[in-house]
């Protein structure tokens, strides 16, 4: 059962990759809240669940990013419409040290459980959870992204024509803002490189030893891409794929290891949390339902 969950979710993401599409790159310009959350508890879904529900919300064209289990809908006097298909979310339960149900000692020792949730738009009788028609609260995506950048404390230098993070100097290099075709492009790139910055040994201590073309290099790029996607959702900036040339290497990683996207999403969530923490954003335990 555990392996089938990994395979089912990974295969769905691989299918998008094979079409040349990064499934987390979606516009955040619709009416739906870009951050998936449980409509009953108001808790945000995180990591792989953020990715899965964000994809499903966009594909379904839903007006809300609120989700409920079948039981939660019933308990609130509603029902899921006949014929509606739910979305899969997962919950990881850590194992005790003496349990051995996970074979790879290099990976988190946990059991995975799958749950099915439904978007509020797939239900009836839950008017209290329906999207509001009130005037939207004023929100400046660029101001929000600027705060993330400023409060990170990172050494950011605007020079040259390439965007990259140099671990040896612990410095982020970005082209001048005027070099980007749009402000969205600048902030999307900056959030990607800042996500790399969180991996320094003095912060989250990720593996930067991989050379270009190696699996380790591809995994770090995948972590940064996902982290930037989570941050873009928070800021409501349209997602942009920073390195489409890496899709082939990501495909190779995901096809050889069905748990890789779960691990990358977890690390990406930690990176996004690290950058949002100075802004007073509360850390929420990953919720499955």
What was the pLDDT predicted at 26? 59
The pLDDT score that the predictor gives to residue 103 is 40
- d(CA 155, CA 194) in angstroms, rounded, equals 10
DSSP 44: B
Nearest-angstrom CA–CA distance, 57 and 143? 25
Q: CA 18 to CA 11: how far, in whole Å?
A: 10
Query: DSSP label at 130?
Result: S
User: Per-residue pLDDT tens for 86-108?
Assistant: 999 999 887 665 544 444 434 55
Strand intervals (E) in 35-131: 37-38, 66-68, 79-80, 87-94, 110-119, 123-124
- pLDDT at residue 111, rounded to an integer: 83
Give residue 286's pLDDT. Answer: 44
Would you state the pLDDT for residue 12? 86
Q: Which residues pair with 114 in a beta bridge?
A: 90
**Residues of the chain below pLDDT 70:** 1-3, 21, 25-32, 95-109, 130-139, 241-244, 281-289
CA torsion angle for 200, 284, 282, 242 (degrees, to 10)? 50
């Amino acid at each position: 059962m555990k392996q089938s969950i990994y395979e089912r979710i990974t295969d769905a993401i691989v299918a998008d990759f094979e079409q040349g599409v990064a499934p987390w790159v979606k516009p955040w310009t619709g009416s739906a809240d870009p951050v998936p959350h449980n409509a009953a508890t108001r808790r945000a879904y995180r990591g792989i669940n953020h990715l899965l529900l964000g994809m499903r919300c966009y594909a379904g064209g839903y007006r809300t990013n609120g989700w409920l289990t079948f039981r939660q809908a019933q308990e609130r006097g509603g029902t899921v419409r006949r014929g509606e298909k739910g979305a899969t979310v997962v919950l990881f339960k850590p194992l005790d040290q003496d349990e051995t149900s996970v074979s790879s000692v290099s990976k988190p020792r946990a059991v995975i459980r799958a749950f099915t949730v439904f978007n509020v738009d797939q239900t009836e009788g839950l008017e209290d959870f329906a999207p509001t028609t009130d005037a939207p609260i004023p929100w400046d995506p660029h101001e929000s992204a600027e705060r993330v950048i400023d409060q990170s404390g990172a050494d950011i230098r605007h020079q040259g024509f390439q965007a990259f993070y140099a671990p040896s100097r612990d410095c982020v290099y970005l082209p001048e803002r005027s070099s980007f075709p749009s402000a969205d492009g600048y902030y999307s790139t900056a959030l990607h490189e800042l996500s790399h910055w969180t991996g320094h040994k003095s912060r989250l201590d990720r593996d930067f030893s991989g050379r270009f073309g190696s699996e380790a290099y591809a995994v770090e790029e995948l972590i940064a891409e996902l982290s930037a996607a989570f941050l873009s959702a928070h800021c409501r900036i349209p997602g942009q794929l920073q390195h489409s040339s890496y899709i082939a290497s990501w495909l190779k990683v995901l096809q050889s290891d069905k748990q890789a996207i779960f691990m990358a999403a977890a690390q990406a969530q930690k990176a996004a949390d690290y950058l949002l923490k100075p802004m007073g954003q509360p850390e929420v335990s990953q919720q499955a339902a």
